Structure 1
Amino acid sequence: MWHDQPKHSDKPEKAGGQGWLINPSQQKLVQFQPGSATAHAQWVAIHTFRLKPGEAPTLITGRRMLRQNAIEAWQTMLKTGWTRCHSPRR
């Protein structure tokens, strides 16, 4: 389940930039997933889910960001209380 948080050494992010972050105090889960590249940019799709114990995560928002902006957002989130996690079981 989403509340079983792995150790950082578990490396839940996948090669190619996919990964998940969780913030239990905010009851949110965020997925970072490589999006399609264009001739001028690389994109990352970001999906935010609301967490309720005993229920499947519920999608709140979805958007895309430039890859560099997504990297910065990931790093900022880690510094502000978010932790890496595995994708939720559905």
Structure 2
Amino acid sequence: MPCCRPDPNDHPVMASGEVWIVNADEDKVVQFKPDTSTNQAQWVTLRTFHWRPPDYPIPQTRRRMLRNSAIEAWETMFKMGWERSSSTTSVY
């Protein structure tokens, strides 16, 4: 029997597959969302927004990348001080 349970915050994928992370210092929000998969690969769309509450986020960029690369990017951003948003409603 394992002595401890895995922390759900350690893994970047939510049940819906969508994750929002926020960097208050840079006034940015990034959405990681699963995209259409192919036979060869799983894709993730990254959307970057400029955001200063209480205003709505302003779209800046949109990228599509392989799932493994997206997880790596999420982990790197998280280590650099980005924080996971508690819900998408807190972003909008």
Structure 1 segments of 4 or more deviating over 6 A? Answer: none
Aligned: 1:34 with 2:34: yes
Deviation, 1:89, is 5.3
1:59 corresponds to: 59
Deviation, 1:39, is 1.0
Secondary structure of the equivalent of 1:75? helix
The size of the alignment, in residue pairs, is 82
Worse-matched range after superposition: 45-54 or 72-81: 45-54
Deviation, 1:15, is 1.4
From the superposition, tell whether residues 21 and 89 of structure 1 become closer, same or farther in structure 2 (CA, over 3 Å): closer
Q: Which TM-score applies when normalising by structure 1?
A: 0.80
* Distance in 2 of aligned mates of 1:63 and 1:16: 19
* Distance in 1 of aligned mates of 2:20 and 2:39: 27
Deviation, 1:53, is 2.7
> Alpha carbon RMSD of aligned pairs, Å?
2.2
Unmatched 5+ residue regions in structure 1? Answer: 1-7
Deviations 1:12-55 (A, max 9, x none): x5215310100000000000000000111100010000012321
* Distance in 1 of aligned mates of 2:70 and 2:91: 24
Contact 2:41–2:66 under 8 Å retained in 1? yes
Aligned: 1:21 with 2:21: yes
Amino acid at match of 1:68: N
* Distance in 2 of aligned mates of 1:41 and 1:16: 19
Unmatched 5+ residue regions in structure 2? Answer: 1-7
Amino acid at match of 2:36: S
Tell which has more relative contact order, 1 or 2 (C-alpha 8 A, sep 6+). Answer: 1
